Every structure is written in structure tokens, then in C-alpha cells.
Amino acid sequence: MRIKVIFILTFLISGLANAQTEINLMPYPAEITVGNGQFILTNEFNIGITNGTQRLFDGTTRFLRRLDGRAGLFFNQNYLGNTDNHKNAKLLIQISREGIVELNEDESYELQITGDQIVLTSETDIGAIRGLETLLQLLDADKQGYFFPLIDIRDEPRFPWRGLLIDVCRRWMPMEVIKRNLDGMAAVKMNVLHLHLTEDQGFRIESKVYPKLHELGSNGDYFTQIEMKEIISYANDRGIRIVPEFDIPGHATSWFVGYPELASAPGPYEIETGYGIKNPTMNPTKESTYEFLDNFLGEMAALFPDAYMHIGGDENNGKQWDANPEIQAYMKKNAIADNHKLQSYFNSRILDILNKYGKNMMGWDEIFQPGISKDIMIQSWRGKEALIASAQKGYKAILSNGYYIDLIQPTSFHYLNDPLSEDSPLRPEEAQLILGGEAAMWSEVVTPETIDSRIWPRTAAIAERLWSPGAIKDVDDMYRRLEVISIQLEELGLLHERNYEMMLRRLAGGRDIKALKTLTDVIEPVKIYERHNQGITFTTFSPYTRLVDAARPDAKIAREFRNLVDDFIETGDLALTQDIKGYLLLWVENHAAFIELAEKSPILKDAVKLSLDLSNLSKIGLQALSSSVDHDAGWKKEASIMLEAAKEPRMECELMVVSAVQKLVENSR
């Protein structure tokens, strides 16, 4: 059913050619019919709920507070409860049953808005909560006031697994970060928060069975079990599952600080402060290892209610295994040919433990080894090939490759990355095993101050890819809607918008940020893992308060300039040159003001060269548009040399308008 989603757009508004260009919904619904007229929002607005549940009462109360917060209206209802069941209420919510926060639960809903009443119908309270988010996004206004458009929506998710991974280990992310991002996830209908809880740099969950895990492996930064129960409850209220990850056998240094006997080489061990693939690995040949993990995983199975538990299983370099004579002797005695087979043996033992506690095992690509039970779930991070191979061999799988939001790739890249693209080689029964995907937010170079700017708003586009029909893939319209949704996400306490100028003010020492913002608006941090190759060694204590940290992925001004240049080159419309010249003149003139600011703010000193590059390439762009400049081969060659130099990263940042100016040069006559 999730694959054969019907996508119908019926347009009844006179002159409306495409509802997507008028309605700011994200994710976009499976079916939508737009009518002509409005439901006017007034102080008399009220809500009636039939067959309500506590989750729905709480969710509807949050909806009502966000609605009056946007409209400034004083509604009579406060907290929704059992007595709020009037069928003639302005918003009537009808559900059949309480939903279970588990894989494949029904999240569908129907939303009908007429001039007199709004009716939201769903099988479960979780579906109703999804529908309330759609209703909030539909709120509009004109000179008469606030209103909802008349509309008929029937909606359901394309995939049942729509997740976000947050790494709380490499850089500690406290509860307030988790909660505000859960609210953001709920707003765009995501339903899995994958918490990466153990790593070389920290053990982030309290264990009462083995307390030295968190006492010695965390530097004091960890979730108590009471706090984790609060997070689980908070997520449950929003229809979101919490899937914990305990990364084993590698990425495990923090385990060994308190319990070095688990490791494949003698200790002592210290919490790792650097990044990268480390050698410490659990010893898979000792029965005591499995006894320890049985006790620990049993404790965690009781804490986390979800059916899935993630064991990591990635990036084990095998060096400790190769250097341990006892492990080598064990492998020889038991005819274990190599480290891959040894890890497969380890995984099979862990699978037995998890099954004993009623949990399904989940892991990264590396756990996919011949012979392992098909009850496991594969999370593909290395490529779609692994995802396809998993499904072809009968394994459930989700996609994370292409959704690594820490890599600072553009929203459009993530948006067009589909777990089940039109050219997928999978047969229908194999395609059913692709359950969705997860955005992955690894925390090497973020802090609680900057993490939201790396997650949002791009993850909203990933959420749409995983919820909406595959036919919804207009990139320009996605960006248009994303800009609206990004501002709406702010009301949930997310910091992706507001912290931008705050960080610029700090960089400027409280001075005018105009020149700094003009530069930062057109730069982005370097992509993929290039930031680690810029001559700086990052640790868990590094400052992430510099220009590169304030700069955001997918810089809007730079993208708009590139689009403007593309339109000009495609159409030859000379009227567009005035807008292009406006940008270029701004960037030429900005350099002098930036120098003045940098002289008073030493943290910006090294960015002067970046500002100079922007000024110089802007001059080249103006020359390319000038009829008084001879655009001969010599000029083009000299301009291209300067532009190539401007492509080089500075302060771990790159100018995102170089390619557009290069196009102006190449197309100059």
C-alpha cells in the first residue's frame, strides 16, 4: 500500500495551475483536492474529539497553543480532555483507536475543510497528530485575518521508517537538544529517533548493572535512566519511536575505560578525545564478553520499549584482533577464516542475546554477512548497492547513504535521493523490504549551539522524500516551501535560524554585522569530510564558534545568485543583468567594510582573504557583463585562473558563487 500511493491533485481554484505552488505543505500529501473559499479563524474556534486518548488530548492542546501563538487569538479552550467531545465543534477529530508507537503502525488521516467545519479523521491517534501538523501548515492570512483554505486531503506515508540519527557521543547533546529536535521531527511527520549512545568518545547512558560504563566512560555527560524514560515518553506522545544504538565490537573505547577486560588488548584505556577509526575492539572469543553483553543488553532491553536495538557493527579495523595471539589461535581452532567471519560469529551471538529479550537486531552495512538470520535490519551507509543487495537477499533495510546531513551537502541532493527510485532493479516483493531511511547527524564538528543548523531545514526535505509520493520531486518548489516551513519550525525552539545572526554578532564583537553577514551569506563549510583535511586537528574540546561554524549548509543567497545566472544564460534576458550586477557590486564594495571589521575582531583576521576572493571574483563577473571589456581568449584565461584560485577553501569555508561567475565568463561575448 505504501508503494502504490495514489497521487491526485484536483484544482478547483480559478486560474490555479499547480497547487504545490500555492500551498506550503511539507511533506506534501498523497491526495489533495483544493476548493474555492475559506474557513475563517476566530476567537470562537474550538475542538471536539471523539474516542480521544491522552496522547491525542496532549497533542491537540499543543496544536491549539501553536495556533493561538501564530494568530494571537484568545481561544476559550485550555487543556483538551474527555469533556471536549462536541461533534459540532469547529474542528472535529475522530479516531478509531489508540495507536502503538511501533513499526508499520497506521499513520494515515483524512482532512476535510469546509466553510463551517474542519473534520480530521484517522484510524489512530498517531494519524490524527500527523493531520494536525498538516492543518497548522495550512494556516494562511490576508487583510481580513487568518483562515484555512477549503481543502480535502487523504494522506498516508510512503515508507514506515522515517528517521533521524543524532550522535550524542562525540559531542554531548543534552536533553533540551533532543526534545526540541523531537518536536521538529513531529512537525514534518518523522517517526524514528535513532540515538547513537556509545562511542570511543563517550558512553552516554546510565547502567545500573555496570555503573563504571557511564561513571568512567562519559566525563559526567550521560542520560540517567530516568531522563531516558522522559525522552521516550516525550517521543511517544508525538508518535516517535526511540531506537538506541550501542556500537560494538568497534567504536568501543568508552566501554573499556571501566571494563578493560572486554577489550582485545590490555589496558588501561582513556576516553578518546580525537576522531577517526580507532583500534580498540571487543574480544569476541571470550565467553565473559557475551556474559557481560547479555547482562547489559538485557538491562537496556527493559529500558527501551522499541522492538529494534542497533548494535552498530561498523568500521572495525581488526588491528587488535590481528595482534592478539589468543584470538588468532581461536580463529585457527574454529576454522574462522578472517576477521569478517569472526565478526559474523560475534554478530550471531549478539543476535541470540537480543532475541532472548524480544528485540530485533539492527546494524550498519557491515553486519550483513552470509548466513546471518534474515530477522535483522540493515542500515545502509556505504551506498545504495548495499541496500539493494540486502533486499535481494531477503533482508529488511533502510537507507542512510545520501542522507548524511553532517556532510553539508545541498538540500536538493538529499531530496532527490530516493530509497526506491524509478529505476530500482528490485522486484515488488523485494521492494517491500525497503522500509525507508534515516538522516544521520554525526557530531564531530557540532555543538548544542550549532547542531540545529546542520539538521534543519534540510531534514524537512528528507522527511518529504520518505513520506510523500515519489512523483513529488520538483526541486524549485521544494525550496519555496522549505523556506516557509523553516520559519515555522522556529516556534518549536529550534535554533537553526535565530543562532545564525547571534553567532555573527559574537564574531563581530557586538559590532555591526552587515559586512560579515554579506560574506557569510555566500559561503558554506567545506563538504563531505574535507574539514578534517584542512590542517586542523579536531577534538571533543575544540571551539566551534568560528566563521565556518556560523556558515550554514545550502546558503540561500548563493543559491539564488546561481539560479539567477542560470536563468540569464538560458534565456538571454538582459533585464536579469541588473539583478546580477546588484549582487556583484555589493560584494565588491563589501570588502573594505569587512577589512575594517576584521581589524577589530581578530577571530575574523584569516577571513580577509576570503572576502578579497569574493571581491575579486565579483569584479570579474562585472567585467564579463560589460560591453566595454574585450572578452578575448587572453582575458578569459586570466579570469579562469583567478576563479580557480577562488575555489580553494579558506578557513574551512568555500565561496558558493564561483561557479556562477565562471559561467558568466564562459558565456561572455
User: Would you name the residues annotated as active-site residues?
Assistant: 315
CA–CA separation, 586 and 517 (whole Å): 12
Among 184, 299, 281, residue whose Cα is nearest residue 244: 299
Exposure string (b/e) for 278-296, b if CB count within 10 Å is 16 or more?
A: bbbbbbbbbeebbebbbeb
Cβ count within 10 A of residue 330: 18
Helix, strand or coil, per DSSP, at residue 396:
strand
The residues, ordered by sequence, that sit 6+ positions from 516 with a Cβ below 8 Å of its Cβ are 504, 507, 508, 594, 597, 604
Q: Give DSSP secondary structure letters for 323-358.
A: H-HHHHHHHHHTT--SHHHHHHHHHHHHHHHHHHTT
Cα 375 from chain centroid? 27
Q: Give DSSP secondary structure letters for 584-651.
A: HHHHHHHHHHHHHHHTT-GGGGGGHHHHHHHHHHHHHHHHHH-TTS---HHHHHHHHHHHHHHTS-BT
Residue 132 host element (H or E):
helix 125-138
Cis peptide leading into 543, omega within 30 of 0? no
DSSP summary character for residue 263: B
φ, ψ dihedrals at 424, nearest 5°: -60, 135
Q: What does the CA dihedral 208, 213, 218, 219 come to, rounded to 10 degrees?
A: 90
Amino acid letter for position 106:
D
Cis peptide leading into 325, omega within 30 of 0? no
Among 522, 504, 524, residue whose Cα is nearest residue 513: 504
CA–CA separation, 36 and 33 (whole Å): 10
CA–CA separation, 248 and 155 (whole Å): 39
Among 56, 197, 77, residue whose Cα is nearest residue 128: 56
Amino acid letter for position 238:
R
Write the secondary structure of 183-225 as one string of H (helix), E (strand) and C (coil). HHHHHCCCCEEEEECEECCEECECCCCCCHHHHHHCCCCCECH
CA–CA separation, 305 and 240 (whole Å): 12
Helix, strand or coil, per DSSP, at residue 524:
strand
φ, ψ dihedrals at 485, nearest 5°: -65, -35
